[in-house]
Amino acid sequence: MVDFATLHKAARHDVRMCIQAWSETLRKFLGEKLDYVYAKGSAVKR
């Protein structure tokens, strides 16, 4: 049987890692021009 709590936890972790990677990439290319990054969705909520 599928453990949805474990899958949900893993999905949240994956989303956080993607947001972190994109944030670092944007900072690298945009530097000081980047003020903030906004992420919306239930996967990023705690």
CA distances from 34 to 29, 41, 45 (A): 9, 21, 23
Q: Token pair of 43, please?
A: 């996967």
Query: Cα separation of 46 and 35, whole Å?
Result: 23
Question: The whole model's pTM is what?
Answer: 0.63
d(CA 23, CA 20): 5
What pLDDT is stored for residue 14 in this prediction? 92
In tens digits, the chain (46 residues) has pLDDT values of: 789 999 989 998 998 898 889 888 888 888 877 666 666 666 565 5
Distance CA 21, CA 10 (A): 17
Domain extents for the chain? 4-44
